[in-house]
Amino acid sequence: MIKTILNRKYYILTIFIFFLIIQGCAHKNANPVLSYIKNSQLTFSNKMQRDVVKEAMLDILTLDKKYLVERRYEDANGQDSTWDLRQVVQNYFVPNKPGVSLGDDFYSDVKADSVMVEIGKLYMKY
């Protein structure tokens, strides 16, 4: 009887640890760009800024990573070739949670299918 109870405890403990590991792996593989963009609020003050945001979103949807890295955009004041794509996202997309970052591998993460779907939705909206 006691042996059966101990076996059940170990069984339950093993399942619990398994779920913790799975949860940790799922969190580790989460795309930080998706977390940043999903349910974010776009903020721009004028048509020029809106056009920059639309251009950047279209570039995400159509350009390869190599070209995205090289691509430059007007900054918020209209100065040509000042911001890279990461800066455009950081300055015009306000994430739904404070403290969310774009991660260390932005240009790879931004080309993930899940991010492309979100960007596509936003592009059609604006």
Whether the model pTM is above 0.85: no
Q: Does residue 97 or residue 54 have the better pLDDT?
A: 54
pLDDT tens-digit series, residues 29-51:
699 999 999 989 999 999 999 99
Q: What percent of the chain has pLDDT over 70?
A: 77
* pLDDT, mean over the chain: 85
Q: Sign of the CA dihedral 56, 98, 82, 74?
A: positive
**Burial classification of residue 71, based on how many CB atoms lie within 10 Å of its CB (0-12 exposed, 13-18 middle, 19 or more buried):** middle
